[in-house]
Copies of this chain bind each other. A is one copy, B any other.
Amino acid sequence: MKVSREGWQWTPSSGLKAGLPSIGVIEPTQNFQSVNETFDVVVIGAGYTGLTAARDTSTNGLNTLLLEGRDRIGGRTWSSNIEGYPYEIGGTWVHWFQPHVYRELSRYGLNEELVHSTDFTHKRNFFSFETGTGRREMSHEEEDELFSRAIEKFVNVDGNLGRTVMPFPFNAHWNKDVLQYSNLSVADRIAQISHDLSSDEQHAIEAFVLLCSGGTRENSAFLDFLRWWAAGNYNYKTLLDTIITFKLKCGQSGFAIKFFKEALATGNFSYAFNKTVSRVDFSSGIVQVQTVDGQSFQAKRLICTVPLNVLSKVQFSPALDRAKQEAATLRHVNQCVKIHAEIQDPDMRSWSGVTYPNNGLVIGLADGRTPAGTTHCVFFGCNANLHGDEDITKTLKAVKRFAPMDVERLVFHNWSKDEFAEGAWVWYRPGMETKYLKALRKRQGPVLFANSDWASGGWRSFIDGAIQSGTEAAKLVRDELKSGLRCCRL
């Protein structure tokens, strides 16, 4: 198994070690000799957006070059394959209610790879809830009832659970009334309803919403949550089903590699990994792309999938639109911490829990069973407040605070320090969506900007939004470059 330089693994015997094995690591790292040709399109970034775009342009006959700074495909979504089990270092869950990602899963024949993260058939079948007022256990039914009741209060701005103000999550501003919530933070919304919240309900809302935003109550926009809720059909159970229930037996990298292989099979597809782009010059009409190691590539079109939080690291000439510059300087708030733990006790398979607000990790849940029969649990924190590589002792302590457990392995990546992401899935600050979303999607001449961070659909932030965004960009480029071939008009 090839090993990525990214990520960390800790075991009691070997301690903390950098680098994780992954089938997403690509060798050879590039597949071309000469760089003197003018490509039809250069795609920057091999996350799902870039993979989708490059696959679509290459299968549609465009000569395509994919440049990626990492040693692997997948961007913020990749799996580490350890002892026959895929740990999802970033994006994980999918559902047939996420149209763009499910269409691709289905097209690659991966329907039968879907497995449940949850399995409530084992002994330790309960939810542990530790808040400021102590720790207690409840059934998963009681957990769902509490969270559902609390979240419904949170989103119920219109007396219709959000259906009135956001009837079309994939066209979220259709009802302009929704814009009145543009500047609302999670904290603001909680303040509006605090008279109607029990202490448990407030803890439930905060733990769940911060799991979603990866930020703080103050810096996380309410509107992003309302859209997730609407996309999950205005129902807590459906939302859980869509965002945190179904994952892939083959791991996300086993899915992502399908896009890469399909592109490769066209014969139109060149790629280079470990190629960090430093500069994009499109002042002449043709796009010139320079990498930090001094290479230069040129193309008729560029699809730039660089995420929001690192977009300002690339120097554009002419410069990025002012609005893009402002948004890239503001950055989004998601500094999620995600820690995988291999737990000795097989009965933990049915467990989940919250420790909030007094722990570095907020939510934990059983996520699978390893081939060795141990339980795989995953823990989430927010606001970068406990990255495992920075303090492994504190991390182990935070994990064990959820429940007594024997930890045999930890697996994680520090997304906040990740030079190509500086954060996790997008979550805007209050006001950002209304002010910058459209601007972030706007092309500049031959340069298209595509990323789940500013996808137009209901599942912005998700793999679904990435694929949507890559699909749209590829179609636009193809339509433009192939228009000379049009044989007739209807």
Give this chain's copy count: 2
A176 in the interface (beta carbon within 8 A): no
> Beta-carbon contacts of A238-264 to B below 8 Å, as 1s and 0s?
100100000000000000010011001
A266 in the interface (beta carbon within 8 A): yes
| A479–B266 alpha-carbon span in the complex (Å) | 9
| A485–B265 alpha-carbon span in the complex (Å) | 7
Q: Judging by beta carbons under 8 Å apart, are B264 and A488 in contact?
A: yes
- How many residues on chain A are close to B (CB under 8 Å)? 53
A413 to chain B, nearest CB (A): 23
A125 in the interface (beta carbon within 8 A): no
Q: A103-B471, A485-B266 are in contact. Are A233 and B97 (CB under 8 A)?
A: yes
A483 in the interface (beta carbon within 8 A): yes
Neighbour of A483 across the interface among B61, B98, B169, B265, CB < 8 A: B265
Neighbour of A257 across the interface among B100, B168, B490, CB < 8 A: B490
A182 in the interface (beta carbon within 8 A): no
Q: Note all chain B residues with C-beta closer than 8 A to A317.
A: none
A434 in the interface (beta carbon within 8 A): no
A482 in the interface (beta carbon within 8 A): yes
Neighbour of A490 across the interface among B167, B264, B456, B490, CB < 8 A: B264
Q: Judging by beta carbons under 8 Å apart, are B231 and A96 in contact?
A: yes
Q: A99-B103, A235-B238 are in contact. Are A486 and B59 (CB under 8 A)?
A: no
Q: Closest residue of chain B to A241, judged by CB?
A: B233
Q: Judging by beta carbons under 8 Å apart, are B233 and A487 in contact?
A: no
| A99–B105 alpha-carbon span in the complex (Å) | 10
Taking beta carbons and an 8 Å cutoff, which residues of A are in contact with B? 26, 31, 59-61, 96-103, 106-107, 111-112, 114, 116, 167-171, 174, 231, 233, 235, 238, 241, 257, 260-261, 264-267, 456-458, 468, 471-472, 475, 478-479, 482-483, 485-488, 490
